[in-house]
Amino acid sequence: MKITRFDRATCRELGARMAELLKPLEAEFGVQLAYTGGTYDSTEAKLAIRFKAGDEKTAIERARNEFALYAGMYGLSKEDFGKTFLFNGKPYKLTGLNPSAPKYPIEGKSMSTGKPYRFPRSAIASIKSAAA
């Protein structure tokens, strides 16, 4: 397939393919990677791949500890980490909090695709109702 113009679908396809091709680096260097989107216009695309140090177990434990530090700021408890909640009718897993991102401080992962997402503070109501 020869690309003559960039659009959302093409960028997503390229990003997924890049992540697939870089998978061997995860094991070789002991990192995790994920395609995290990017920007494009009709003639140029900038795609982002995020690398995280450590294995998945280490990353989850670090995220859990950070979540416990910030949970109270959002009216959540440390036990809410990993809870499944619905947002706009779709299921997500609560994976973290990012106080340095005031518009979208809630971090989650799609239960259907595994893709990471950020949510506004309004998602807290969904998280709390899932916990009840």
Whichever domain contains 66, its CATH number is: 2.30.30
127 and 108, same structural domain? yes
For 9-64, how does the pLDDT look when each residue is reduced to its tens digit (9 = 90+)? Answer: 999 899 889 988 988 988 888 888 888 889 999 999 999 988 887 766 777 888 89
| Gap between the Cα atoms of 111 and 55, Å rounded | 20
Strands (E), the chain: 31-40, 45-53, 84-87, 90-97, 106-110, 116-119
Per DSSP, the three-state class of 8 is helix
For 115-129, how does the pLDDT look when each residue is reduced to its tens digit (9 = 90+)? Answer: 999 999 999 988 888
The whole-angstrom distance between residue 58's C-alpha and the CA centroid of its chain comes to 16
Residue 16 lies in a domain: yes
80 and 34, same structural domain? no
How many structural domains compose the chain? Answer: 2
CA-based max dimension of the chain: 51
Residue span of the structural domain in which 71 resides: 57-131
| Gap between the Cα atoms of 117 and 46, Å rounded | 19
103 and 65, same structural domain? yes
